[in-house]
Amino acid sequence: MEALLELEKVQRVISLMSSRGLSDSGGGGAAADRFLAQFLLFLVQPFDSLSMEKRFLLVSELLRKVTPDTMEEVWHLTSPEADQDISSGALLQPNKKFKMHAKKLTIQAPPMVGFDATTRANSTLEDFCRSYFMFHGLDVNNPQSIFKYLPVLSFTESYIYQLDASNEDCLHLVPDNSTSSKEVVRKKEALNETSWSQTIGPLDNLLQRQGLMTDRLRTELKSGIHYWSLERKLCQALLRNEKISIEDVMKAIHLKSFDYRVLNLLMYQLTGQQVNELHMDFLSISEFLVEISDDLYDYEDDVMNNTFNILRMFTAIYGPSEAPNLLAKCIGEAEERYESFSKKLDPSLSGSYWRRCEEATKEGGKISGHAYGTWNIPPLISDEESFRLERLNKHDDSAATVR
């Protein structure tokens, strides 16, 4: 009842704002009007001996001085309170970003789980349930098995996808070759490393309050921050035609599946089981091969979007002639380890996982996969910039023809 009364108050204020021409005109829509209405309701709350006029003058003066930079600092200072809002759903709203002056750095607001992130996370969650539940003795065809654990799994994966979307924003920066431009980009990368380390904190604290956090799980969450940092470093270097190291590339491809390991570790906590190290080692190799398979399938799209792709990285390091052979060698060595660990599994579990891999390959329409198919390395793109321009021109021509 109390919540309904509060909602009614907000609606009455929104109606008043509309009649007085105070509604948001900047395209923020209903969310912006609700924010303004709640702000006005806060201003009229009794506070010591401050009159309405005094409060109005104080806020007017403050808003002339405050900047998005200040708001970012305030949020970090009050993050424990912000954490509590997560469990109540107060932060479940579309992600927003505060933009500073053009010469300053972009500041990311606290990661708020939006609908797009939840939608993108859905396919990962489906694959995780179908591929990993068998390692926890759960029947994925039993709805109770899924819905019992879905809230934690879904929120965690959606939160990670929201951070991933923020990371993607940084991959489209195209710096020139000047020293000052490179320095600005490096400063942004350093800022984002710090910012994202802080923004993973609310998820960490939420899982801790639910009794699910472990040191190993926290390490995997931090490995996600490291992966995004490596992705920015490597992809920005390709745009600047700078050299990249094979050590960074191999580290990134192994870290890329960190979200699956986070979900898997959560399942051990949720089911009250000890972590099975054999299963974790086997799945780690499988994840590595699946990531390579996905990168081969998505190669051209990853070039267009300037996202991490192991074939892109091998081509940049070794050149178009050597890259396919060296990547094939890498795949062969991983397949040998996969086969070795597979023989250590319970035969029924190994068979079930094998069948699941076959299903996933057919459903994805891929002609390459791990441990059960033929690997296909697509034609390499030696000049990525020309490829992007050509693809964009074709898209523009196609759009013009449709009109």
> For residue 150, what are the contacts with CB-CB under 8 A and spacing of at least 6?
125
pLDDT in tens, 259-312: 999 999 999 999 999 999 999 999 999 999 999 999 999 999 999 999 999 999
Mean pLDDT computed over 341-370: 84
pLDDT in tens, 369-385: 554 457 899 999 999 99
Determine the pLDDT at residue 106.
41
Determine the pLDDT at residue 261.
98
CB 6 within 8 A of CB 45: no
Q: Which domain holds residue 281?
A: 107-287+343-366
Instruction: Tell me, yes or no, whether 275 lies in a domain.
Output: yes
CB 333 within 8 A of CB 289: no
CB 269 within 8 A of CB 217: yes
How far is residue 104's CA from residue 99's CA, in Å, rounded to a whole number?
9
Instruction: Tell me, yes or no, whether 40 lies in a domain.
Output: no
Instruction: Tell me, yes or no, whether 380 lies in a domain.
Output: no
pLDDT in tens, 43-52: 888 877 778 8
Computed over every residue of the chain, the mean pLDDT equals 82
User: Is 97 a residue whose pLDDT tops 70?
Assistant: no
Determine the pLDDT at residue 392.
87
Higher local confidence (pLDDT), 284 or 107: 284
Mean pLDDT computed over 64-88: 63
What is the tally of structural domains in the chain? 1
How far is residue 296's CA from residue 44's CA, in Å, rounded to a whole number?
59
Determine the pLDDT at residue 379.
94
Instruction: Tell me, yes or no, whether 140 lies in a domain.
Output: yes
pLDDT-derived band at 103 (thresholds 50, 70, 90) equals: very low
Higher local confidence (pLDDT), 270 or 110: 270
Determine the pLDDT at residue 70.
74
> For residue 347, what are the contacts with CB-CB under 8 A and spacing of at least 6?
none
Query: Which residues is 122 bridged to in the sheet?
Result: none
Instruction: Tell me, yes or no, whether 220 lies in a domain.
Output: yes
Q: Indicate the Cα dihedral angle 293, 224, 210, 199, nearest 10°.
A: -140
pLDDT-derived band at 15 (thresholds 50, 70, 90) equals: confident
Instruction: Tell me, yes or no, whether 401 lies in a domain.
Output: no
Instruction: Tell me, yes or no, whether 193 lies in a domain.
Output: yes
Instruction: Tell me, yes or no, whether 383 lies in a domain.
Output: no
pLDDT-derived band at 27 (thresholds 50, 70, 90) equals: low
User: Which segments of 202-285 are extended strands (E)?
Assistant: none
Tell me the whole-structure pTM to 2 decimals.
Answer: 0.69
Mean pLDDT computed over 95-113: 44
Q: What's the chain's Rg over C-alpha atoms?
A: 25
Task: Please give the helix or strand (H or E) that residue 225 lies within, else none.
Answer: helix 215-239
> For residue 315, what are the contacts with CB-CB under 8 A and spacing of at least 6?
323, 380, 381, 382
Determine the pLDDT at residue 182.
53
Cα–Cα distances in Å, from 328 out to 56, 244, 302, 355, 379? 68, 20, 19, 24, 14
CB atoms inside a 10 Å sphere around CB 81: 9
